[in-house]
Amino acid sequence: MSGTAPTGAQRESQLLQAFVQMADTLVDDYDVADVLHQLVGHCVRLLDAAAAGLMLSDQRGNLHVLASSSEQSRLLELFQLQNNEGPCLDCVRSGEAVTVADLTVQTQRWPMFAPLAIAEGFTSVAAMPLRLRRETIGALNLFGREPGPLNEQDALVARALADTATIGILQERAIRRGEVLTEQLQTALNSRIIIEQAKGVLAYAGDLEMEQAFETLRGHARRNGARLSDIAHQLVTGVLRPQDVLDSAPGASS
């Protein structure tokens, strides 16, 4: 994979913080969209991965891209859905992890996805299912810029993070009451659409890259103690001016 993950005591401390943060979803109210963005961010910071993306299924079983660590990985996830091939789809269908150490030898398996991923600079990939018992509701994709499998320790951590996120989404009440699960997933899907629209508004207003726009949006939400999806909705509907968000960012010129 990428070989950029932290090591030693620093990594252990960051892992502990990540699991504490993810575990909070089990006992407190939370924003599904933000939790999933936290998940892909943890994977890039803590694991041997250059980028990460996450797909989640809706109540009809249709997959949607819910989170990504970069615009590049988001587009690769969308490409898989649009062309119905790739490691994330295979992972969801089988309910099992899909690990590929060298994408250059997988062009027959994924004739459209593999060449595109390679052209974007990724040479390895690992997909982890978001699964609880027999129910698979999505997959976490990890992309590497160097050939080679995800090491065993990082694979275990990625699986544990994915499992924690899955439990946080489903929870016992959602398993017992299908309408709660439906509402939870639909809310996440609706939030994703609003967030993408808000990113576009900020990117245009501030002449930003999409990734910069997202970090600006997310930072504004956190500084104001608000949900990411609520701030996005305010921005898209005109309640909040793009310039106010841009001006509030650290380092913004007055």
For 117-123, which contacts have Cβ atoms below 8 Å and span 24 or more sequence positions? 117/76, 117/143, 120/72, 120/76, 121/145, 122/50, 122/51, 122/76, 123/147
As its CATH architecture, domain 8-175 has 2-Layer Sandwich (3.30)
pLDDT of residue 173: 43
Which tokens go with 22? 């993810």
Q: Could you read off the pLDDT tens digit of each residue along the chain, which spans 254 residues?
A: 655 555 566 777 777 676 666 666 655 666 777 778 888 888 888 887 899 999 988 767 789 998 899 999 999 999 999 999 999 999 999 999 999 999 999 999 999 999 999 999 999 999 999 987 788 889 999 999 999 988 888 888 888 888 877 777 766 445 455 565 677 677 778 888 999 999 999 999 999 999 999 999 999 999 999 989 899 999 999 999 999 999 988 876 65
The span from the CA of 82 to the CA of 92, in Å, is 15
The span from the CA of 13 to the CA of 46, in Å, is 10
Task: Judge residue 108's burial from the number of C-beta atoms within 10 Å of its C-beta, 0-12 exposed, 13-18 middle, 19 or more buried.
Answer: exposed
Paired residues of 55 in beta bridges: 65, 139
Closest CA to 184 of 64, 28, 32, 27: 32
pLDDT of residue 172: 45
Strand ranges (E), the chain: 51-57, 63-68, 98-100, 124-132, 135-144
The structure's pTM equals: 0.67
Phi, psi of 207 (to 5 degrees): 50, 50
Question: Could you count the other beta carbons within 10 Å of the beta carbon of residue 138?
Answer: 26
**Residues 6+ away with beta carbon under 8 Å from 79:** 86, 112, 113, 116
pLDDT of residue 169: 72
pLDDT of residue 178: 58
Side chain identity, residue 2: S
The span from the CA of 87 to the CA of 93, in Å, is 10
Phi, psi of 100 (to 5 degrees): -130, 115
